[in-house]
Structure 1
Amino acid sequence: MPTLSDLDEYYSMFQNKQFIACYGVAFSKEKINELVVSNVNHWKQNDFGMWTWRDKESHHFIGRVGLKSITIEEKNEVELAYALKPEYWGKSVAIEMSLMAIELAFNTLSLPSLICFTRAQNYQSLRVMQKLDFHYEKDFMYLGFLQKLYRLANFSLNTHIDHK
């Protein structure tokens, strides 16, 4: 779970020019603080949330990953969310991080599906979703940006998922 002691590392990641180009917006230190506090509160309310991800050997900050309750077009969903420092892009780290969150979502929480979305221009993240077997569902507007929404169904539940 993220803590306020992670604030400087989160700020460094969210202020990186490469990261901003993909994410679409730079966050102030105050906004990052709100994000971390929101992530901590999400854990308290839902028993799941975001994790801070660190290198196993050096313990250097890599990014964040986790599950987040979110409402998209008036439908309650659980989102797989991840963000990495650019120096870790293209090294399968996002895949490794995401697989742990997916395992929790499906094997522990028994969620029927997960969504994942990103800006239409964030090709790196779109590729991660595809490698994780998420399937394109629709385009939608979120926070003023065109987003591509993908979904991964938990087929082990053998339930029908209403995508409407």
Structure 2
Amino acid sequence: MAKIFIETERLILREIITEDAEAFFAMDSNPEVVKYVGTKPLTHISQSVEMIENIRNQYTENRIGRWAAINKEDGKLVGWSGLKLIKEINNHKNIHDLGYRFTPEYWGKGYATETSIAVLNYAFNEMKLDQVFAYADVENDASNHVLRKLGFEEKGTFIDEGDNCFWYQLKKENFTK
């Protein structure tokens, strides 16, 4: 049974498990879903299985990783949201990065904001973090809108996987959700 970390009004955020591979493959094989993430659409379910193994290793090694977002109404995996410890990025070391990804049928429903608020509350209140970082492709208007709405402060741009990205920081004292 997958460990549940957080429940929001509409979603359950739980650990990602091997049984999620089909849903992850359906999401990450869609070119629109991965358009701004610096990777090509997946072509085989084994790639999803490998990704899930990597995330599960992060749970053990870093005590944190992205979580599956499950719709309470029908039990379907609608995407993922959560924190990831990144060892080095944009001249920063050992930072906690907020990220999220959802299948297109769930876009525009506020799930990124809903899960991010819950994850940030977890980060600041349970993990006792002082700050959380995030980044998004400069052309990803939806994701940049969510991060700004959450109170993240834009700190500049950098190149990640060949893409120009905004770099964001949110300090605990500036989080008011």
Name the TM-score, length of structure 1 as normaliser.
0.88
Q: 2:73 aligns with which of 57, 61, 79?
A: 57
Q: Which of 150, 160, 177 is matched with 1:142 structurally?
A: 160
1:42 is aligned to 58
Question: Mapping of 1:6-155 within 5 angstroms?
Answer: 6-24=20-38, 25-29=40-44, 30-70=46-86, 71-76=88-93, 77-155=95-173
- How far is 1:38 from its partner? 1.2
- One-letter code aligned to 1:66: G
Higher helix share: 1
Aligned length: 156
* Structure 1 residue ranges without an equivalent (≥5): 157-164
Q: Retained in 2: the 8 A contact 1:23–1:122?
A: no
Structure 2 unaligned regions, length at least 5: 1-14
Indicate conservation of the 8 Å contact 2:124/2:172, yes or no: yes
Contact kept? 1:69, 1:79, Cα under 8 Å? yes
- Using the alignment, how far apart are the partners of 2:97 and 2:69 within structure 1? 17
Cα distance, 1:85 vs. partner? 0.6
The structure with the largest strand share of the pair is 2
Stretches of 4+ aligned residues off by more than 6 angstroms: none
Q: What TM-score do the two structures reach when normalised by structure 2?
A: 0.82
CA drift at 1:110:
1.1
CA-atom RMSD in angstroms? 1.5
Task: State the alpha-carbon separation in 1 of the partners of residues 72 and 78 from structure 2.
Answer: 10
1:89 deviates by: 1.2
